[in-house]
């Protein structure tokens, strides 16, 4: 077993890769560019310690290809036409999904915030982004409790939605108030420029990733 | 030095929360604020950390408050935050980050301190508070006690002269309370001023210099630490305060499995996914008319047991019987009810009456009214459940369970953050449920409550039971 540390990419590199994946998704027409880009991203994910997930993405990609090239041509027309568009667009989304997964799994919220700050994003936007991201897991936890409570109360059908949303909203207002009190007593309103223990530095690996991204993007725009 | 002079205060326009409060706290003093729920002790802490008046729009404040030489009303909260640190009651809503390391650095990063300084200070914090085990952890993997400790540590990292703690033990088990006690002792030795508002009192013996007793928004009495902890039992109860000495003595153990009436759990094992089982080979009985306490450290599997008994989780092995009949998961969900720690999660309707009908659709109005009356809720039947007090919400949740004919009632930490009067109220409600022939289990780490409300105790330990 190798215990070597995994590669870490800068959150800014991640964001750039995400943007480029989007451009490639909507411009590419060449099969080799698409496949090359996906292979590259899966390799990157594997180096970052998401080897299993990368393998799964690759497998899913091959399955989709198999469907499109071997199954749809010989199946009934109605199935082929209704599913081939779906399959095609899912394939196009793959790079974005892979980069997204990589960032969610490997980039701590704090690094992302520091990255955005370095790019001089407005502080207001950063606070909004961080609070939103902070809330999702908390809401999932709350929703779990409420679902448990509903199971003990025989609540069915549409009622479930109402019964989930109302307690969630009530508890969210309470939480928001308490959270805000905790934040202001820790000086979040301090106008002094904020510092960070995390120091982000773009490494050679980041440079290589960005270079590869630029090349693929250019190729996807040029090769028709 | 903190000085509060002739302060009267109300949250909405007129005075009513505090009346003529005057209190001087010297540097390095450790002060307890005590009294019943709603006596104004939390508000006094807010006077010191500036949440009053900065965070209470439309309030009425009279009098002067200064902390560490700053006039609180005229000082920005972020300036005050450097001198006065605050720890709050609810560990869930005190975090801005998703991992412990970020949270520790949060206060200093806000001040714009140099990264090298922050790093040194964080190392010191971890060493001084002995919290190595909490480094590099996700917030969601931490227990309530660990979260509260992290909140405390992240305030400590900012090194304020004054610490203001508002009911810090509300969600802590006994070990965590003892740890907090050691940390407070350490703060005192370092010369910090500590102000603590609390219901649970015994752990502060030997720690506080003065106790201030509030009633209806006034300071009624003031004691030295020694005087306070030698108050006679009678007087303590008249003042509505909880025990001053650590709760001791043990309850008889839970009955062995196999009871013909009530709940019998035989060789139960539970776990998540493919992981190690959380509970293994657990066996016990709980009979109607008796109240069984389920105790044990945080993370030992109390919640897992509750969820399994309520049919929210499948068992890996073992049998659960009620009155001799074996129940599968779905049947358990029908027969059992859990009153959750945060009862807000389980009230869904827009009126108290509607809540009851939602729980038991076929019920006649008379029956609903009868049950509401039994739980002293009839006068509130038109009210919105969220407009009720904490205790009333709890009773409403119980009323819905009774109406839908549940035989097994499980309470998850029903007394967290309750004062003496409310604790006694909860124990009389659960006693009534038991007397009516229901099987009652109470999950709690509040030993004072456990001693006064329960008949037997099931203590979960590392190796099953």
A23-66: per-residue pLDDT in tens? Answer: 998 887 888 999 999 999 999 999 999 999 999 999 999 999 99
Phi then psi for residue A63, to 5 deg, are -60, -45
In chain B, list all ranges with CATH 3.40.50.300: 2-238, 263-459
User: At residue B399, does pLDDT exceed 80?
Assistant: yes
Residue from B102, B144, B308 to probe the interface with A (highest A Cβ count within 10 Å): B102
User: At residue B298, does pLDDT exceed 80?
Assistant: no
- Our CA angle for A19, A24, A26, nearest 5°, is 100
User: At residue A4, does pLDDT exceed 60?
Assistant: no
> Between residues B120 and A83, which one has the greater pLDDT?
B120
- pLDDT tens for B65-105 read 999 999 999 999 999 999 999 999 888 788 888 889 999 99
| Nearest residue to B146 via CA among B172, B107, B167 | B172
User: How is residue B156 written in tokens?
Assistant: 């400590």
Q: Sorting pLDDT into bands at 50, 70 and 90, what band is A2?
A: very low
Q: Sorting pLDDT into bands at 50, 70 and 90, what band is B341?
A: confident
Among the partner-chain residues A130, A179, A186, the one whose CB lies closest to the CB of B110 is A186
A56 touches B: beta carbon within 8 Å: no
The verdict on a CB contact (< 8 Å) between B96 and A185 is no
- pLDDT tens for B54-68 read 988 889 999 999 999
Q: Sorting pLDDT into bands at 50, 70 and 90, what band is A155?
A: confident
Q: Average pLDDT, whole number, for chain A?
A: 87
The verdict on a CB contact (< 8 Å) between A152 and B102 is no
> Between residues B264 and B37, which one has the greater pLDDT?
B264
Q: Sorting pLDDT into bands at 50, 70 and 90, what band is A218?
A: very high
* Cβ contact A223:B141 at 8 Å: no
User: At residue B295, does pLDDT exceed 70?
Assistant: yes
ipTM of the shown complex: 0.83
Q: Which of A170-174, B53-57, B120-124 has the highest mean pLDDT?
A: B120-124
Among the partner-chain residues B98, B151, B344, the one whose CB lies closest to the CB of A170 is B344
Chain A residue numbers with beta carbons less than 8 Å from the beta carbon of B75 are none
How many angstroms away from the CA of B245 is the closest CA of chain A? Answer: 32
- Our CA angle for B106, B109, B114, nearest 5°, is 140
Phi then psi for residue B277, to 5 deg, are -65, 140
B263-459 fold: Rossmann fold (3.40.50)
CB atoms near residue B30 (< 10 Å): 21
The verdict on a CB contact (< 8 Å) between A149 and B50 is no
pLDDT of B463 = 64
Residue from A152, A178, A181, A190 to probe the interface with B (highest B Cβ count within 10 Å): A152
User: At residue B465, does pLDDT exceed 80?
Assistant: no
Among the partner-chain residues A130, A185, A197, the one whose CB lies closest to the CB of B86 is A185
**For residues B440 and B143, what is the distance between their CA atoms, to the nearest angstrom?**
25
Query: Is A136 exposed, middle or buried, given 0-12, 13-18 or 19+ CB atoms closer than 10 A?
Result: exposed
Q: Sorting pLDDT into bands at 50, 70 and 90, what band is A1?
A: very low
How large is the average pLDDT for residues B281-301? 91
- pLDDT tens for A191-207 read 888 899 888 889 999 99
* Cβ contact B151:B100 at 8 Å: no
Chain A residue numbers with beta carbons less than 8 Å from the beta carbon of B354 are none
Chain B, 1 to 20: residues with Cβ < 8 Å from chain A are: none
* Cβ contact A143:B327 at 8 Å: no
How large is the average pLDDT for residues B372-401? 90
- Out of A1-10, A168-177, B290-299, least confident range: A1-10
User: At residue B318, does pLDDT exceed 90?
Assistant: yes
The verdict on a CB contact (< 8 Å) between B77 and A185 is yes
User: At residue B464, does pLDDT exceed 70?
Assistant: no
Among the partner-chain residues B85, B86, B93, the one whose CB lies closest to the CB of A175 is B93
User: At residue B155, does pLDDT exceed 70?
Assistant: yes
> Between residues B204 and B462, which one has the greater pLDDT?
B204
The verdict on a CB contact (< 8 Å) between B338 and A175 is no
* Cβ contact B306:B442 at 8 Å: no
β-bridge pairing B218-224 and B456-459: unpaired
pLDDT of A3 = 40
B228 touches A: beta carbon within 8 Å: no
- pLDDT tens for B185-230 read 999 999 999 999 999 999 999 999 999 999 999 999 999 999 999 9
How large is the average pLDDT for residues B251-274? 92
How many angstroms away from the CA of B115 is the closest CA of chain A? Answer: 5
Chain B residue numbers with beta carbons less than 8 Å from the beta carbon of A160 are none
**For residues B405 and B322, what is the distance between their CA atoms, to the nearest angstrom?**
14
Widest Cα–Cα separation across chain B: 70
For residue A186, what is the nearest residue in chain B, using CA coordinates?
B107
CATH superfamily ID and name for B2-238: P-loop containing nucleotide triphosphate hydrolases (3.40.50.300)
Chain B residue numbers with beta carbons less than 8 Å from the beta carbon of A123 are none
């Amino acid at each position: 077993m190798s215990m070597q540390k995994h590669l870490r990419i800068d959150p800014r590199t991640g964001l750039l890769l995400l943007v480029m994946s989007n451009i490639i998704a909507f411009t590419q027409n060449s099969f080799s560019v698409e496949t090359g880009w996906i292979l590259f991203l899966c390799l990157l994910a594997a180096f970052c310690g998401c080897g299993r997930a990368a393998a799964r993405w690759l497998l899913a990609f091959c399955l989709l290809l198999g469907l499109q090239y071997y199954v749809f041509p010989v199946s009934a027309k109605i199935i082929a036409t209704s599913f081939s568009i779906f399959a095609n667009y899912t394939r196009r989304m793959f790079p974005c999904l892979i980069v997204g997964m990589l960032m969610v799994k490997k980039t701590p919220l704090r690094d992302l915030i520091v990255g955005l700050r370095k790019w001089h994003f407005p502080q207001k936007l950063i606070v909004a982004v961080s609070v939103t991201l902070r809330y999702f897991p908390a809401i999932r936890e709350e929703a779990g409790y409420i679902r448990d409570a509903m199971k003990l109360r025989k609540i069915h059908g549409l009622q479930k939605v109402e019964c989930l949303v109302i307690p969630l909203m009530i508890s969210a207002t309470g939480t928001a108030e308490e959270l805000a009190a905790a934040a202001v007593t820790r000086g979040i309103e301090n106008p002094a420029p904020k510092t960070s223990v995390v120091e982000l530095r773009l490494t050679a690996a980041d440079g290589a990733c960005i270079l590869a991204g630029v090349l693929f993007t250019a190729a996807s725009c040029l090769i028709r | 030095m903190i000085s509060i002079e002739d302060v009267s205060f109300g949250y909405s326009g007129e005075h009513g929360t505090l009346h003529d409060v005057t209190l001087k706290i010297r540097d390095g003093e450790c002060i307890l604020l005590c009294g019943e729920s709603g006596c104004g002790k939390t508000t006094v802490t807010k006077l010191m950390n500036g949440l009053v008046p900065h965070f209470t729009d439309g309030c009425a404040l009279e009098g002067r408050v200064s902390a560490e030489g700053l006039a609180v009303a005229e000082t920005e909260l972020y300036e005050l935050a450097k001198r006065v640190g605050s720890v709050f009651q609810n560990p869930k809503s005190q975090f801005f980050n998703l991992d412990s390391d970020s949270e520790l650095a949060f206060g200093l990063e806000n001040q714009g301190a140099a990264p090298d300084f922050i790093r040194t200070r964080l190392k010191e914090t971890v060493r001084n508070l002995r919290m190595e085990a909490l480094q590099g952890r996700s917030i969601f993997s931490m227990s309530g006690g660990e979260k509260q400790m992290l909140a405390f540590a992240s305030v400590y990292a900012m090194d304020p002269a004054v610490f203001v703690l508002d009911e810090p033990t509300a969600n802590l088990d006994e070990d965590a309370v003892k740890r907090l006690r050691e940390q407070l002792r350490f703060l005192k030795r370092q010369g910090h001023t500590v102000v603590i508002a609390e219901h649970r009192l015994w752990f502060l013996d030997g720690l506080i210099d003065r106790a201030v007793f509030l009633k209806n928004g006034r300071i009624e009495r003031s004691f030295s630490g020694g005087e306070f902890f030698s108050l006679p039992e009678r007087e303590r109860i008249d003042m509505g305060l909880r025990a001053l000495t650590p709760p001791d003595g043990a309850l008889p153990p839970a009955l062995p499995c196999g009871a013909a009436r009530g709940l019998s759990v035989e060789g139960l094992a539970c776990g998540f996914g493919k992981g190690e089982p959380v509970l293994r080979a657990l066996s016990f009985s709980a009979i109607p008319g008796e109240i069984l306490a389920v105790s044990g450290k945080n993370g030992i599997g109390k919640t897992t047991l509750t969820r399994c008994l309520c049919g929210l989780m499948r068992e890996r092995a073992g049998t659960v019987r009620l009155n001799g009949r074996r129940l599968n998961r779905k049947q358990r969900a029908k027969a059992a009810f859990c009153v959750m720690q945060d009862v807000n999660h389980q009230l869904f309707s827009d009126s108290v009456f509607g809540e009851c009908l939602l729980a038991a659709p076929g019920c006649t109005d008379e029956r609903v009214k009868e049950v509401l009356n039994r739980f002293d809720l009839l006068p509130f039947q038109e009210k919105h459940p969220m407009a009720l007090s904490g205790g009333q919400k709890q009773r409403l949740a119980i009323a819905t369970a009774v109406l839908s004919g549940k035989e097994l009632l499980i309470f998850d930490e029903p007394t967290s953050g309750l004062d003496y009067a409310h604790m006694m109220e909860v124990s009389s409600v659960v006693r009534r449920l038991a007397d009516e022939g229901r099987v009652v289990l109470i999950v709690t780490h509040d030993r004072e409550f456990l001693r006064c409300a329960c008949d037997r105790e099931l203590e979960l330990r590392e190796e099953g039971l």
